[in-house]
């Protein structure tokens, strides 16, 4: 089994992995006894193996007939060693012809880290042997945008994929929108600075006589917004600079 890319592990219904969301689409082989009756007469014992998803294991145990068997073989107690050998060969042969896909993934640039939902990880160029079905992959490389794809393997065979990675631009950075927000705040502060300073500049002698407190009040407001505009402008420029690095 390992020669064709499979790693075997025993599972039980109580195993926590059978209830895990991450492993529910993993394929497992359910071994059980087939129907021992032919008509009304008891027939030979039949060993059946169904291939089902981990999330369907409980259903397979309660009603195995709803799944198409990978293999069904009559058991002969006379020669258990030969039966075991034939069973293994049949399993490998049926998996290879019905469920095995050879997947080659290349990319530009090379060295992209490809990760699957079932924890397969490798760097491009890579070659995997996977079962028929759907495989979600995530491609990642420093200074490049993360690429997510769902690969569909409808039938056994060879599949080849090429992914062109896109370089991160400054506007793809997580700092870009915070930088825009801070710079927009700086512009608002500058507007109010000009507004209050304009009102302060237009004050005359009559205002000094009627409302002398308006002079320091308007000047202080203009000063506060001026300081705020300088601080936010500096912060926005720093954040904008970080967008070119991260």
pLDDT tens for the chain, 246 residues: list them.
Answer: 665 556 677 766 666 666 667 666 677 777 877 654 444 455 567 788 777 777 777 766 666 655 666 777 777 777 777 878 888 888 878 777 777 788 999 999 999 999 987 778 899 999 988 877 788 999 999 888 999 999 988 888 889 999 999 988 888 888 889 999 999 999 999 999 999 999 888 888 777 777 888 888 888 999 999 999 999 999 999 988 888 877
CA distance 53 to 69: 13
CA distance 221 to 214: 10
Residue matched to tokens 């069904």: 72
CA distance 110 to 91: 36
Average pLDDT, the chain: 81
Q: Give CATH superfamily name and number for 100-164.
A: Carboxypeptidase-like, regulatory domain (2.60.40.1120)
């Amino acid at each position: 089994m390992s020669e064709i890319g499979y790693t075997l592990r025993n599972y039980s219904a109580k195993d926590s992995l059978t209830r895990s969301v991450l492993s529910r689409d993993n394929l497992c082989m359910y071994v059980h006894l087939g129907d021992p009756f032919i008509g009304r007469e008891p027939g030979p014992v039949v060993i059946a193996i169904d291939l089902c998803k981990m999330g369907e294991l409980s259903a397979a145990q309660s009603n195995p007939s709803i799944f198409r068997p990978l293999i069904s073989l009559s058991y002969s107690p006379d020669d258990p060693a030969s039966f075991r050998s034939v069973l293994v060969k049949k399993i490998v042969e049926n998996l290879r012809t019905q469920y095995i896909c050879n997947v080659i993934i290349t990319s530009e640039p090379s060295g992209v880290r490809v990760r699957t939902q079932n924890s397969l990880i490798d760097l491009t160029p890579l070659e995997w042997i996977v079962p028929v079905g759907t495989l979600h992959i995530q491609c990642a490389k420093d200074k490049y945008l993360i690429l997510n794809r769902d690969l569909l393997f409808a039938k056994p065979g060879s599949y080849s994929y090429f992914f062109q990675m896109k370089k991160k631009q400054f506007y793809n950075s997580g700092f870009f929108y915070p930088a825009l927000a801070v710079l927009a705040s700086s512009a608002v502060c500058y507007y109010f600075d000009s507004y209050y300073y304009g009102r302060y500049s237009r004050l005359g002698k009559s205002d000094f006589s009627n409302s002398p407190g308006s002079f320091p009040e308007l000047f202080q407001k203009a000063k506060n917004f001026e300081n705020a505009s300088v601080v936010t402008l500096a912060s926005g420029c720093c954040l904008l600079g970080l967008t070119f690095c991260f």
